[in-house]
Amino acid sequence: MSNLVAVRKYIEEIFKTSRFAVLATEGDGQPHASFIAITPMDSYRALIFATYRNTRKYSNLTRNGKVALLVESGKYLNQTQQDSFVLTAFGHVEEIGIADREFVFNKHLEWHPDLLAFMQTEDCTLVRIKVDTYQIVRGIDDVEWWTIADLDEAEEGDRGN
């Protein structure tokens, strides 16, 4: 259980410091990567981003809602050594509905105030990634996979102590 608690804390820490990520989508058998501004919500369970509807990214999301999102923690000690890890979130997307739009808009704007003009355009929409699984890579031979259910269990165990 303590390993799960540590993993959960790793995930929470990276989202406190990392505001950008690379989103991977797929369309017509072709992968597509996009650099996006992200906002974590519901702890590590959901990640929010904004996009124009007239993009390849959005088109891919509407045809195949499965995504991967890569976030790098980024502490490099020198050219050959790093003290960091890479986190990849796997999940599916949903467009933010009208009922949640104002709250999510304000939350994303709080994390990314420079995006106001972009987010106010008529073609811009907000998207939620509902995370199913995280992959944590600390090195070539140090890779772990954790489901949201695993991490929720760790959170419940942590509250019990």
Note the pLDDT tens digit of each residue in 15-29: 888 899 999 999 999
Q: What is the pLDDT of residue 1?
A: 45
Q: What percent of the chain has pLDDT over 70?
A: 87
pTM of the model: 0.86
Q: Which of these, 108, 86, 11, 95, lies nearest to 53 by C-alpha position?
A: 95
Phi–psi pair at 55, nearest 5 degrees: -115, 160
Give the CA angle between residues 30, 35, 37 to the nearest 5°: 135
At residue 157, φ and ψ (nearest 5 deg) are -65, -35
Mean pLDDT, range 36-58, rounded to an integer? 95
- DSSP class of residue 115 equals G
Summarize pLDDT for 99-157 with one digit per residue, the tens: 999 999 999 999 999 999 999 999 999 999 999 999 988 777 888 898 998 888 766 65
Residue matched to tokens 């509807």 = 53
Domains identified in the chain and CATH numbers? 2-156 (2.30.110.10)
Higher-confidence position of 50 and 43: 50
